[in-house]
Structure 1
Amino acid sequence: MTGNLIYKHRTSDKKIALTFDDGPDPKHTPFLLDLLKAAGAKATFFAVGRQLESYPSLARRIVEEGHDLGNHTYSHPDLSKLDAGPMHEELLKTELIIQNITETKPRLFRPPYLSCNRQVVKAAQKFGYLTIMASIDTHDYKRPGVKPIVGTVMSKLNKGAIVLMHDSGGDRRQTIEAMEKLLGKLNKKQYECVSVTELFHSPNSHEDA
């Protein structure tokens, strides 16, 4: 833990958390869910409220298949540039949408662009959220190629890592292809892909990093 921002989790278990931002997306999220299901892997999806409104069935599928569904604001603004009122509205609107679709209050939050200041942290705490950042940012949104995405994860792989990828916000075919390769490589190294919630409840967890 760095302040109130969680970048990774200290554990002696070979577990990592794969996370996907900006969805759900009808073109890409189903493919990722299929890959995760086939591999017996879990992940965390940080969803945007306006996407949830458009594709509630995908949100339900995410939760039904055992993945985490976190708050990623309603319209994906840079929260550090907003006043407290609009910031709270962004979080509240998405929280209510998630609750309405899944009948569960979200516990996890990730700020868009990983842009965070003291006021953002304070707002997240008010909602009772854990603010999840990342220890491995694949920069897949730039579409650097499948090999660089895979290489970034494998070169920085460590126990308790939180990996940042995207399932919406543009063409994510590279991310999907990279995920297919990553799941195989991680399995060969005997790493288990779990949700953030599962990661925090690893039996050999230590104090958060």
Structure 2
Amino acid sequence: MTPIDRRGALLALTGALTAACSRAEPGPRPAAPTPAKAQRPAPHGPAPAPRRFPGLPAQIEHGPRTAQRVALTFHGQGDPATARALLGQAEQAGARVTVLAVGRWLDEHPAMARRILDGGHELGNHTQRHIDINSLPGKEAYAEITGCADRLRRLTGSIGTWFRPSRAQGASPLVAELARRAGYPHVLSYDTDSLDFTSPGAPTVVSNVTGQIRNGSVVSLHFGYADTVAALPAVLEELDRRGLRAVTTTELLT
């Protein structure tokens, strides 16, 4: 074989090998999701979607007065250690609560959403920044509701079970309509105010709750206050003595 023939054969062999490798090489793989964006499903499934309760008003202050059940509802913000202590106390007593979380708090402590649901409690919306929502123009008020709803959806797969306005016991007609538009058929108010956010001392928190509570009551409490942590065991003990069972708001109304 002449040098020219050998060179031609080598070129032909190289071309064949290159073509074979090209056919065997798989195409580019899709990029794996980054850990920051990957979402694990909640151990007990996503939070339930808001539901409509036929026959009940757009703003709910209490449940049926015929059953010995009450709903303890917590405004969700503040030191997560305080929140975990309160959830633990409730669970030890066999109580289930409703937490209305502030969106900015969930941004800072995203693991709390899963902690609440894992305890058998329910999670709802208490606006994004916890400002006086009833005083805001419609566009800003709607952004407060949907901002928190978006965070709940990202963390749990649902916008949460309830909406409660911030810095107000009830929603203005405008805010109630905006909440409905955002996916919350009812606004959750309350008929029993612990006033724990004023830090009046644990005995006063206990007397505020036990002096007002009755069948079907919805109680307003807060994460983030030492008085609430100190008062909750006595509140739960008094509920048990009266035969009142603390359930989620959804359970209260069904």
- TM beyond 0.5: yes
By how many angstroms is 1:11 displaced?
3.8
Partners of 1:10 and 1:150 lie apart in 2 by: 23
By how many angstroms is 1:28 displaced?
0.7
SS state of the match for residue 51, structure 1?
Answer: helix
Aligned residue-pair number: 198
State the match for 1:189 in structure 2: 242
Unaligned runs of 5+ in 1: 202-209
State the match for 2:61 in structure 1: 7
- Contact 1:50/1:75 (<8 A) preserved: yes
2:210 counterpart of 1:154: yes
By how many angstroms is 1:24 displaced?
6.0
Partners of 1:128 and 1:110 lie apart in 2 by: 13
Q: TM-score, normalised by structure 1?
A: 0.90
Deviation readout 1:112-142 (Å, 9 max, x if unpaired): 1225211111111112212011100111100
Deviation readout 1:84-108 (Å, 9 max, x if unpaired): 1111111111111111111123130
By how many angstroms is 1:2 displaced?
8.6
Between 1 and 2, higher relative CO (CA 8 Å, sep ≥ 6) is seen in: 1
CA RMSD between the two structures? 1.5
Deviation readout 1:12-53 (Å, 9 max, x if unpaired): 111000011132631310001110111110001110001001
1:106 paired residue among 145, 152, 160: 160
Amino acid at match of 1:116: A
Unaligned runs of 5+ in 2: 1-54
User: Which stretch has the larger CA shift, 2-11 or 107-116?
Assistant: 2-11
Deviation readout 1:155-187 (Å, 9 max, x if unpaired): 11211000001103xxx1110111011111111
State the match for 1:163 in structure 2: 219
Q: TM-score, normalised by structure 2?
A: 0.75
- Contact 1:24/1:52 (<8 A) preserved: no
SS state of the match for residue 81, structure 2?
Answer: coil
Once superposed, which parts of structure 1, at least 4 consecutive aligned residues long, lie more than 3 Å away? none
1:68 paired residue among 122, 146, 164: 122
Instruction: Tell me which structure has the larger Cα radius of gyration.
Output: 2
Amino acid at match of 2:180: Q
State the match for 2:143 in structure 1: 89
State the match for 2:77 in structure 1: 23
State the match for 1:207 in structure 2: none
Partners of 2:128 and 2:146 lie apart in 1 by: 8
2:177 counterpart of 1:122: yes
